[in-house]
Amino acid sequence: MNEELTSVNWVKNIIKRQEIDKYLVDGVDFINEYAISEQLAKNSDPDPIRIRDILQKSLSVKTLSPDETAALLNVTSEEMWDEVFKTALAVKKKVYDNRIVFFAPLYCSNFCINNCAYCGFREANNREVRRILSMDEIRRETSSVLKEGHKRLILVFGEHQRSDIDYMIDAVKAVYSVQEDAPHSGRPSSIRRVNINAAPMEIAKLKRLKEAGIGTYQVFQETYHHQTYGEVHPANTIKGDYQWRLYALHRALDAGLEDVAIGALFGLYDWRFEVMGLLYHTLDLEKRFGFGPHTISFPRMTPASGSDLSSDSPWNVSDEDFKKLVAVLRLSVPNAGIIVTAREKAEIKRSVLKLGCTQTDASTRIGIGAYSDQKTELDLDRKQFTIGDPRNLDEVIQEVVNMGFIASFCTAGYRCGRTGETIMGMLSHCDEGKFCKLNAVLTFREYLSDYASDETRQVGESLIMKEIGEIESLDYFKNKSHLLHKFRTDYSEILGGKRDLYL
Ligand code: SAM
Ligand code: SF4
């Protein structure tokens, strides 16, 4: 059989209709455009007293209702937005303390059979130089990322027969197999958590991803607006099926994966509508599975090879509105991690970190093979879109430390069963933030000893001393002296050269 024919059959077998239908209620999905427009309209011009009540509810770590979220989205006065921004950071501090988790993306392949109007990888883009990394190349890329000090990777794939489930699993294994000696201490280091951003899959394939030991499975809906979705994702492509994508994470949870991540690509439709869509997605997951997404992403569209829409969309979100949408998401789903990526320029990243983001990437390269071959990164036709913050990990860490945040490389949660319902429950009771502070300090200590520049080590060590002082004085640990004892022992052992200790 020739390659084209096999590929047609492969495409035909991807979508399993019964794995969509089982989630529909009376034949419809959970995004009702009419209801969302009504909620946005009827909550316009909200009373300041009501907004303050909503902020209090968020501070008690409860997911907001659609009406409450719509009211926040309709705030107009600058003073009230200031209160919203301050509360967003307070909620983050309460749930996640002051830590920022770092990761790096690794783009494995830019072959794709879809034709998303905003993406450089789309099949019809003849300018894109196609490449799929071999397992040796994936190991080489992993080594480069490890040399920077990363411990978490997210693997990213186009949707294509060549990068289907077998390839993904081999890629996960390849990443986990690499060991690289740290530059300062010579201690061996490896990636401790591999996450995946890949197209929606059937449950059987998702079970295989779980067996391969992935952390989070991430799929962005791009836009929750049915009509717009149809306009930017041609109907004759797999991605053209809105509901196959909408229930990707329901299937993942049914397959036994516990940490799932949602997101919308901002710039395709009205940002207020997309925030409501993300909330409805969260609510549906909470209703059916008892807990919501592990993280929420809100990438803004940036220019991509051969895509006019990507640089010229009427729905592009201004910097001011971007800050508002980040703050409202922080408040609406207080226990979810929220991720700002290197798509954003350094100054924007700085301002939204202060609005409650919990994760970010650094030393990011998105060209295929670009960690080992930097030239690849300079060519727009070898990557998916453009990034705004190419700074290396050390620079970004130094900056966040100077802002008072502790950099964390903690991956303990999924290795000791703090995933899914367990972790979302701990986050809601504000236990997770304190607990993870210990692991954040331990992993940051490793980073400072193994990779940091002199300047970063200096500022980092003063912050660690302050953090340890806080930990020692926290009431939370008063009747948990075993935790404190283990923390102190682990910290000394790390100074003595041991690695990968966690609570
Ligand atoms: N092919 C898989 C899929 O579509 O789910 C993998 C994801 S794609 C490589 C990763 C994400 O990048 C997409 O879900 C989309 O939100 C985002 N993306 C695509 N084009 C973009 C652009 N021009 N600017 C910013 N983000 C973009
Ligand atoms: Fe392919 Fe994903 Fe890009 Fe769409 S967003 S063209 S599915 S890589």
Residues 6+ apart with CB under 8 A from 381: 120, 127, 128, 129, 305, 306
Answer yes or no: is pLDDT of 432 > 80: no
> pLDDT of 133-167, one tens digit each?
999 999 999 999 999 999 999 999 999 999 999 99
Q: Given this model, what pLDDT does residue 170 score?
A: 98
| DSSP 8-state code for residue 443 | H
Banded pLDDT at 294 (limits 50, 70, 90): very high
Q: Work out the average pLDDT over 438-456.
A: 97
The residue whose CA has the least distance to atom 2 of ligand 2 is: 158
Residues 5 and 252: their CA atoms lie apart, in Å, by 29
How much is the pLDDT for 433?
65
Q: Is the CB of 159 under 6 A from ligand 2?
A: yes
Q: How far apart are CA 195 and CA 156, in angstroms?
A: 9
**pLDDT attached to residue 496:** 95
Residue of 110, 115, 116, 219 to mutate, ligand 2, most atoms within 8 A of C-beta: 116
Contact 446, 408 (CB under 8 A): no
Is the CB–ligand 2 distance for residue 239 below 6 Å?
Answer: yes
CB-ligand 2 contact for 121 (6 Å cutoff): yes
In the predicted model, is pLDDT for residue 335 greater than 90?
A: yes
Q: Is 116 in the pocket of ligand 2 (CB under 6 A)?
A: yes
Question: Which residue did the predictor score with more confidence, 427 or 312?
Answer: 312
> Cα(223) to centroid of ligand 1, in Å?
12
Looking at the predicted structure, is the pLDDT value of residue 359 above 80? yes
Q: Is 301 in the pocket of ligand 2 (CB under 6 A)?
A: no
224-276: pLDDT as tens digits: 999 999 999 999 999 999 999 999 999 999 999 999 999 999 999 999 999 99
pLDDT at 1: 55
Is the CB of 302 inside a 6 Å radius of any atom of ligand 1?
Answer: yes
**Nearest ligand for residue 121 CA:** 2
Per-residue pLDDT at 376:
77
Q: How much distance in Å is there from the Cα of 304 to the middle of ligand 1? A: 10
Taking alpha carbons only, the member of 93, 43, 100 closest to residue 66 is 43
- What lies within 8 Å, CB to CB, of 55 at 6+ separation is 83, 84, 87, 331
Q: Over pLDDT 70: what percentage of the chain?
A: 96
CA of 222, closest atom in ligand 2: 5
Average pLDDT (88-111) is 95
Which letter does DSSP use for residue 264 in this model? B
Regarding the beta carbon of 368 and ligand 2, being less than 6 Å apart is answered no
**Domains of the chain, first to last:** 2-26+89-413 (3.20.20.70), 432-495 (no CATH)
Rounded to the nearest whole angstrom, what is the distance from the C-alpha of residue 95 to the centroid of ligand 1?
29
Mind listing the pLDDT tens digit for each residue in 394-418?
A: 999 999 999 999 999 988 876 766 6
Ligand 2 site, residue 114, Cβ cutoff 6 A: yes
Is the CB of residue 265 below 6 angstroms from any atom belonging to ligand 1?
Answer: yes
What's the whole-number mean pLDDT along residues 488-495? 96
Specify the pTM. 0.96
Are 326 and 344 within 8 A, CB to CB? no
| Mean pLDDT for the chain overall | 94
Q: Is the pLDDT of residue 379 over 80?
A: no
Q: What is the pLDDT at residue 435?
A: 76
| Cα gap 414→434, rounded to integer Å | 17
480-496 mean pLDDT: 92
